[in-house]
Amino acid sequence: MEWSRLEFAQPVWLWLLPVVFLLYVWIRRNNQPVVVSNVSGWKGAPNSWRVRLMWLVPLLINLGVASWIVAASSPRIGNRQTEIKRDGIAMMMVVDTSGSMAALDMSTDTKEETRLDVVQKTVVNFVQGGDGFTGRSNDMVGLIRFAGFADTSCPLTFDHLNLSTIAHSLEIVTKPEEDGTAIGDALTLAVSRLNEASAESKVIVLLTDGSNNTGEETPEVAASLAKTQNITIYSIGVGTNGMAPIRYTDPRTGRTGIQRMPVQIDDELLEKISTDTGGQYFRATNREGLQRIVETIDKLEKTTLQEKRYREYTEYFPMLLLLGLLSIAGSIVLEHTVFRRVK
């Protein structure tokens, strides 16, 4: 027990403690010996142990009364506690895996990487932490991949390690019938997934390098749906416009080479669906640019921390009440048995 943290909720009762001393003096004065006419026959007689311990009765009475007074003052020891409430964010990462994401325009001088390679690493660092990111440990994060079709690769989860593993495993579609850029369908699916979450703040981060050219829903309708659900969309256009390098494999010889292919990002559309929902549109033409953009989103959408301080008390008045009861009961029993006097 740390006595330095002892406090009294009703300290005014402690002013009655001097009464205990006065009570003891009063009892001792009224604890007179038996009056007899002649004590000559008792001269030299030794005092018995009962006589020597007579002081126990008034002591127990005083102890009992003092215990009750201290109990009334409510002695307690407080343990300071801090509770941190985290208002987490529900976030869906929507990643384009269409054929154009194989473009190499975001490679460095020393390393060849596709647009999807760069996006995967950035998403993993953003969610799990690393390379300047602290991670989204307090947030539920999910992952949707899309090309000609959209599907949920990982539902909203706090298991960011598993989500990161899934993000690393994303692959660019290879079948022509699966290719395309169904931005509207992907956003609609993301809105549907976020509606399952109870978080007050809900966010979609869309990473794409194209324009909507397939799917059942249009991006504008999906954005309108997101707005009605208070879902914010941040869009990131990945890569350059015009011609971008892409590695191909000759099916006859198996040799690989680099060829240039036309790519077009619909900046106007992506900016509209973002601003209409209270978000922002960003354009990343290289790895460093994408890193800075995601860092900006990371700062904009932070988990709210509310700190609440309170105390938990250990109360000691019950044991003092019991001590007082036992003391007074003991004094009464001793006074009428062992220390009984003839009056």
- Give every CB contact of residue 66 below 8 A, 6+ residues apart in sequence: 17, 20, 324
Q: Is the pLDDT of residue 5 over 80?
A: no
Residue 157 inside a domain? The answer is yes
Is 178 in contact with 215 (CB distance < 8 Å)? no
260, part of any domain: yes
Same domain, 130 and 96: yes
Residues 109 and 248 in one domain: yes
Q: Are residues 94 and 55 in the same domain?
A: no
Rounded distance between C-alpha atoms, residue 275 and residue 294, angstroms:
17
Q: Are residues 119 and 74 in the same domain?
A: no
Answer yes or no: do 117 and 232 share one domain: yes
Domain shared by 136 and 247, yes or no:
yes
Interval 244-262 mean pLDDT: 83
Residue 40 belongs to a domain: yes
> Is 341 a member of any domain?
no
Q: How far is CA 86 from CA 118, 137, 194, 198, 305, in A?
A: 31, 11, 18, 13, 5
Residue 36 sits in which domain range? 3-81+310-335
Alpha helices in the chain (DSSP H): 17-30, 49-52, 56-72, 115-128, 160-168, 183-194, 219-228, 267-275, 287-300, 317-335
Q: What is the pLDDT of residue 141?
A: 92
**Length of the chain measured in residues:** 343
- When computed from its CA atoms, the radius of gyration of the chain, rounded to whole angstroms, is 40
Based on the fold, state whether residues 12 and 100 are members of the same structural domain.
Answer: no
Q: Please tell me whether residues 253 and 281 are part of one structural domain.
A: yes
Domain count of the fold of the chain: 2
pLDDT (tens digit, 9 = 90+) per residue, 7-35?
Answer: 787 888 888 888 777 877 776 666 555 55
Contact 178, 147 (CB under 8 A): yes
Contact 320, 75 (CB under 8 A): yes
Q: What is the pLDDT of residues 118-153, one digit of tens each?
A: 999 999 999 988 877 888 888 889 999 999 999 999
Q: Which tops the pLDDT comparison, 250 or 110?
A: 110
Q: Which residue would you say has higher pLDDT here, 257 or 191? A: 191
Pair (153, 137) in one structural domain: yes
Instruction: Report if residue 171 sits inside a domain.
Output: yes
Q: Are 176 and 321 members of one domain? A: no
96 and 198 housed in the same domain: yes
